[in-house]
Amino acid sequence: MRNLTMRWTAAACCALSACFLAPGAARAQGSPPPTAADDDVPGNNRRAAQLYLEGNEAFKEKRWSDAELLYLKAWALVRSFDIAANLGEVQLKLNKPRSAAAFLAFSLRTAPPSAKPPHVERVRRYLDEARKQVGAVRLQGTDVADAEVFVDGERVPAEEVKHEIYVEPGEHRIVIRRAGYEEVAMPLMARAGVRETVPVAMKPVEVKAPETTGAGPEATKAAGAGGENGAAASGDAKTKAPAAGARVEERRSWVPVIALGTASVVGLGVAVGFTVASNSASADAQRFSDVLARANEQCIKPRGEFVETCTQTSRAASRAGTTGDLAFGSYIVSGALALAVLTYAVWPAPPKSTETGVRVAPFGGSRTAGIIVAGAW
């Protein structure tokens, strides 16, 4: 299986290498770019080869944006020198010299010995053209290799950090971070066509030793002999207990507030209910009274047909009075409970005495005698 995988990988490299710079070379030689056999190139390599060939077709038709996208997709699958070369050339045509320089430099560094000299020279020529439009920075230092480098907040790939970092001309800010070292930040003024070497010295983060109190043999002896007492003293320093006899404020419980508040709300609801019932009964009594008034009838000695009306009027009036009294009482109870809640919440809690001890007092009478013992803890 290992030999088979190596053969497939080699086939993919050959397929891509055969197409290396095919947009320029194929037209010069008058032959079409070779194709990759699907049976020989598995997985990502097969897909990368297909994308690479599609990118070459877009290159020939001068569809630079399409070619760039296809090359980038192929690059995401297989990072080879030939994909980097064509991608860098396309980006240079799209006026992206910084990214083009990075891809062309990668292609030049990783070109295999089998790469044809004219093709390598072509990459070198385009790289020189890209470098004339950007600035190049080489970070020099023993601690930079494993560090994270950011230019204007954007992380630089480790491949570029090891060699050269390409930036657009102008002002930039470089930040270098590494675990266990202090962060290094520096400004950079990049100039087109200028290559700079910036020395970097990273300082390890200083770890402060814990501070110790006391000095000399006596302090050491006291610390060793009184470790338990020292721990107790340390605890006392953090939370000091009140002195005996001191009066401290007792923490207030909010359970009565919740209970009384709930009762007050319930009482208010009951009062509203009785008020509605009283108003309804009053309306009924008024309606019956209006009927009697229109008939010019009184309920002292009513006629037969108005006896029932007088009875209903009396019942409605009585019901209105009763429910009105209940509503009034409910309003009083609800208000009293609300006032109790407010008083309890605002009134300061009585201080709690922390005095401890035992008191003994004699007592006596005509027939009895003794002592009273009282204690508080």
Q: What is the pLDDT of residues 236-294, one digit of tens each?
A: 444 455 554 555 555 667 778 788 889 888 888 988 998 998 899 888 878 878 877 77
CATH fold match for the domains 1-131 and 134-204: no
pLDDT exceeds 60 at position 95? yes
pLDDT at 202: 82
pLDDT, residue 255, reads 78
pLDDT at 205: 85
pLDDT at residue 309, as a whole number: 77
| pLDDT for the residue 5 | 37
pTM over 0.85: no
Instruction: For residue range 243-253, list pLDDT tens digits in order.
Output: 545 555 556 67
Residues 6+ apart with CB under 8 A from 173: 151, 152, 185, 186, 187, 188
Q: In this structure, which CATH number among 2.60.40.1120, 1.10.3720.10, 3.50.50.60, 3.30.420.10 belongs to the domain 134-204?
A: 2.60.40.1120
The predicted-structure confidence for 308-358, as pLDDT tens digits, reads as follows 778 888 888 888 899 889 989 888 988 888 888 788 777 776 655 555 555
What is the pLDDT, as a whole number, of residue 322?
Answer: 92
pLDDT higher than threshold 70 for residue 359: no
Which segments within 106-241 are labelled E, that is strand? Answer: 135-140, 148-151, 154-155, 165-167, 170-177, 184-190, 195-199
Which helix (H) or strand (E) segment holds residue 119: the answer is: helix 117-131
Per-domain residue ranges for the chain? 1-131, 134-204, 258-347
- The secondary element (H helix, E strand) that includes residue 369 is strand 369-376
Tell me if the domain spanning 1-131 has CATH number 1.25.40.10.
yes
- The answer to whether residues 292 and 298 touch, using CB atoms and an 8 Å cutoff, is yes
Q: Are 29 and 61 in contact (CB under 8 A)?
A: no
